[in-house]
Amino acid sequence: MVLRNKTQEYELHKERSNILSFLRRSLRNANISLDFEISVEEESGTRKAFTVADKYKVMTEKNPALAKFRKEFNLDIE
């Protein structure tokens, strides 16, 4: 199982035995194991946009026509 951060790993380790018991019982397979790996790529990924201005900037980077649309209709960012 690939996780995004240490918090997810911590929470899953707390419930690991319950998850394994459930899977083994439900699937009738005692050989099931559960391994964790933290994805470094996901951890160091792009920063999330929280403000309206940040969101607008990210959206215009993905679609430059949005800036033209905003200008053409004289729209403000709140």
Same domain, 29 and 61: no
- Verdict on whether the full-model pTM lies above 0.95: no
Same domain, 9 and 31: yes
- Note down the domain range covering 74: 46-78
Q: Same domain for 41 and 54?
A: no
pLDDT at 39: 83
Quick: pLDDT tens for 10-25: 999 999 999 999 999 9
Q: Confirm if 43 and 7 have CB atoms less than 8 A apart.
A: no
For residue 78, the tally of other CB atoms under 10 A from its CB is 6
35 and 72 both lie in a single domain: no
